[in-house]
Structure 1
Amino acid sequence: MRVSASAPGRVNLIGEHTDYNAGFVLPFALPYRTTVHAVRSLRQKWTVTSDWAPGQSTSFGKPESAAGSATWVDYVRGVVWALQDAGHEVPGADLHISSDVPVGSGLSSSAALECAVLTALIELSDLDIPVTDRPALAQRAENAFVGVPCGIMDQAASVLSEAGHALLLDCRTLETEHIPFDGTILVIDTRAPHRLVDGEYALRRTTCEAAARELLVPALRDADLSDVDRLTDPVMRRRARHVVTENARVLETVALLAAGKVHEIGPLMTDSHTSLKNDFEVTVPELDVAVAAALEAGAYGARMTGGGFGGCVIALVEPRDVAFVTESVEAAFARSKFTPPRSFVAAPSAGAHLEK
C-alpha cells in the first residue's frame, strides 16, 4: 500500500506566545508544504529518506524514548511514538520526505513535517482518528518525544486551515473558526540566525506559568491588566502584560476582519510587535529593522511572526506596494550590513491532506 500526504507551514497573523497560555491565536497555512510518500513495510521498522539528504537513509524500530538530539528524524520518530502511545497500531513503513517550507525561519517546518507524517501514517494504518484530534497528537510528538515545549498553534494551523481563511483557535477549548482573510501579506525572512531560542523560549513559558500561579488563575488567559499590576517581579509583569494585551489584540483583529476592515488590523499588528520587543523581549535587530522599514515604506502594519529570536516578519501591504516595501527592507538591511532578506507574498492555503 502506498500513500502520499502533505502539510503546510504557517505564519501567525497575530497572537504570539499566547497558545501555551491557553489564549487565542490567528494563524494561516502557507502555500509551502512538506510531502511524505509512504509505502507499507512487512517489517516493524521505519526507514526514512529525504530530498535534502540524497543517498542517505535512517531506520528505526519501535520508538521507546526521545533521542534527545532533536534532529529532523526525531520528529518522524516522535509521530510514530505518539500514535503508538495513544494505543494505535502503526505498521512499519518506508517514508520519503520532500519539502519547500523554509527551515529555521519560524514558519513551522517542524509542524509541517509532523503533520504530513501523521496524515500519511493514519491513512497507511487505516486509523479512524478525527481531524480535530490530530493536532494534539502531533504536538505530543514534539513536546513529549522531541522535547520542544511548543503550544498547539503550529500543528492546528498545519492540519485544520482552509484556503482563503485565517484560523481562529481557542487554545484552551481547541474550538476553531475560519475567518475570511483577503489581505496581502508580505513575508520577510530576515535570515537572522536563531539566538538562544530553545532555552529562552522555555524560559518565557515557565515565567508565564509562574505568573499564573502567583495570580491564582489557571492560565494568563484568565488574567486582566489589573491582575498584571499585582505581580511584584518586573520581568514577570512584562511577560504577563504581553500575553494579556496580545489576547485582546487577537479578538479585536477578528472583529475587524468580520466587519471587512482588513487594513485596520495593521496598527494591531504593529502594537503586537512592539509588545513582543519591549515586554516579551523576543525580537532581534533584524526583525526590528524589517518592521521599521516596512512601516516607513507604507505597510499598514508589520510584526515578527513565530517564536522570535530570529525568523520572519509579516507586513500587511497593498498589492501594488509589494515591490517597493520589499526593496525598502532590502535597502535597510544593506545599510545595517545584515544578510539580505528573502521575501514572498503568502495567501492563506489549505491544511494537511492526502495527495492524489
Structure 2
Amino acid sequence: MKKGIGKSHSKIILIGEHSVVYGYPAIAIPLKKIEIECVVEEAKTSFFYNKTDTLSVAVFTALRHLKKENAKIKYKVTSQIPPKRGMGSSAAVSIAAIRAVFDYFEENLDDELLEKLVHTAEIVAHKTPSGLDAKTCLSDKAIKFIKNKGFSYIDLNLDAYLVIADTGIYGNTGEAIQNVKNLGNKADISLKKLGELTDEITKILTKNIESKEEKVDKIGKIMTKANTELGNLNITIEKTDLFVKTAIENGASGAKISGGGLGGCVIALAKNLEIVEKIKDELLKCGAENIWVEKI
C-alpha cells in the first residue's frame, strides 16, 4: 500500500519565555530524541478538513499547496511529545504531517517551503505564532530569537545535560499571559531582567573564555534567577516551585520552569549523568509524570 512518512522533533525554551512577547530575546533548544511521526495512507473517502484540529489544518495546508484538496487519504500520528507542555507539540505535528503528505505524493519539499507551510498552519491553530517553535523543531541547533528582528543559531557544546520534567499539569499560556498583563507596569522590571539574563547566557555560550564547567555553573545560576523573575510574574505554581527546589538540592547547577507556565515542564541543568540520576529519582518521587534527558 502507498504510504507517506514524515517526522519531526520536540523543543524546549531555555530562557526568555514571556519576555520574548515584549521584544526581548529568547533561546530555544531542539530536543532531537523526542520525536513525532505522521503516516499518510490511501483511504476510501476524501480527506475531511477540521479547522479546529492542528493536525488536520497541517494536512489540509499541504494538500491545498499541492492542489489535491480532495485526495482520498487518511493519516495517523505517533507522538512522544506531550501536548500543552511548552515542548512544541503543535509545530512538530504540523512539520511531520506536511512532510508525510509531500512524501506520499512524491513531491519535493525544501526547508523554506516547509517553514512557510508550517507557519500558515500555525496561524490557523495559534493566531499569531512567533515562528520560534517551528524554527526550533526544524533545527539541529539552539536558536536565539528576537520578535520582529529574527533568528540566529547558537552552538551549545556544554557537555552537560538538560533534565526536562513534566509536572503532568497542562500549561496555560493564555492565562499566564493575562497574569503578566494584569501586573501592568509592575511586570516591566521582571521582563527587562529576563531579557538581560538571556543576553548573559548568550554571551557565555558564544565566548570561549571559561571552561565548560564554569559555563554550566554560570548558566545554571542564571536559569534559577530567571525562575525567580517568572515567579514575580505570577506564572509559577506550587508544583513547579517544588521541582525547581528539588532539582537544585540534588545537584542541579540551576533550574526553572519552561514555556507558558502555570504547569508544564521544569528544566534543570546537570554537569554529569550521576547528578542527572539523582535529580530524576527525586523528581519522580515529587510526582513527575515523565522525564527526558538531552545532552547539550
- Same fold, judged at TM 0.5 (above): yes
Question: In structure 2, the residue corresponding to 1:281 is in which secondary structure?
Answer: coil
1:105 to 85, 93, 101: 85
> Do 2:85 and 2:264's aligned partners in 1 also have CA atoms closer than 8 Å?
yes
Question: 1:38 pairs with 9, 34, 40, which one?
Answer: 40
CA distance in 1, matches of 2:205, 2:91: 26
* C-alpha distance in structure 1 between counterparts of 2:109 and 2:22, whole Å: 26
Equivalence for 1:166? 142
What does residue 116 of structure 1 align with? Answer: 96
How has the CA–CA distance of structure 1 residues 83 and 240 changed in structure 2, closer, same or farther, with 3 Å as cutoff?
Answer: farther
Give the match's secondary structure for 1:283.
Answer: coil
1:238 partnered with 2:238:
no
Aligned to 2:290: 342
Query: Could you say which residue in structure 2 is the equivalent of 1:186?
Result: 163
Q: Give how far 1:133 is off.
A: 5.3
Q: How many angstroms apart in 1 are the aligned matches of 2:147 and 2:61?
A: 20
Residues 204-240 of structure 1: per-residue CA shift (max 9 Å, x gap): 68x3xxxxxxxxxxxxxxxxxxxxxxxxxx8122333
Question: Are residues 1:326 and 2:277 paired?
Answer: no
Number of residue pairs aligned between Structure 1 and Structure 2: 284
Query: Which residue of 1 is the match for residue 131 of structure 2?
Result: 152
Cα 1:315–1:168 change in 2 (3 A) is same
Provide, for residues 250-303 of structure 1, a one-character-per-residue CA deviation record: whole Å limited to 9, x for no partner: 22212212225233211111111111111x211111101110111122211101
Per-residue CA deviations over 1:324-346 (Å, capped at 9, x if unaligned) read 22333345x3xxxxx45432312
Q: Equivalents in 1 of 2:106, 2:22: separation in Å?
A: 34
Residue number in structure 2 paired with 1:2: 3
Q: Which amino acid aligns with 2:8?
A: A
One-letter code aligned to 2:282: S
2:85 is paired with a residue of what secondary structure? coil
* TM-score, normalised by the number of residues in structure 2: 0.82
Give 1:94's aligned residue: 74
Contact 2:176 2:234 in 1 (8 A): no
1:77 is matched with 56
Return the letter of the residue paired with 1:345: V
Q: Percent of pairs identical after alignment?
A: 21
The answer as to whether partners of 2:173 and 2:260 remain within 8 angstroms in 1 is no
Does 1:313 pair with 2:266?
yes
Do the aligned partners of residues 107 and 252 (structure 1) sit closer, same or farther apart at CA in structure 2, a change above 3 Å counting? same
Distance 1:199 1:307, change over 3 A: closer
Q: Which amino acid aligns with 2:40?
A: A
SS in 2 for 1:151: coil
Letter in 2 for 1:200: E
Normalised TM-score (structure 1): 0.70
- Asked whether the 8 Å contact 2:17–2:259 carries over to 1, the reply is yes
Farther-moved stretch of structure 1 (111-120 vs 16-25): 16-25
Q: How far is 1:117 from its partner?
A: 0.8
The CA distance in 2 between the partners of 1:136 and 1:107, in whole Å, is 20
Aligned partners of 1:90 and 1:22: how far apart in 2?
A: 39
Question: Partners in 2 of 1:78 and 1:22 — Cα distance?
Answer: 29
**Residue equivalent to 2:228:** 274
2-structure distance, mates of 1:133, 1:240: 37
Residues 84 and 90 of structure 1 are in contact (CA less than 8 Å); yes or no, is this contact kept in structure 2?
Answer: yes
User: How do 1:251-290 and structure 2 match up within 5 A?
Assistant: 251-258=199-206, 259=208, 260=212, 261-278=215-232, 280-290=233-243
Taking the aligned partners of 2:290 and 2:221, their CA distance within structure 1 comes to: 24
User: For 1:102 and 1:298, how far apart are their aligned partners in 2?
Assistant: 27
1:299 aligns with 2:252: yes
2:122 match: 142
CA distance in 2, matches of 1:122, 1:307: 32
Aligned-CA RMSD value:
2.9
Q: 1:116 to 1:18 in 2, by over 3 A?
A: farther
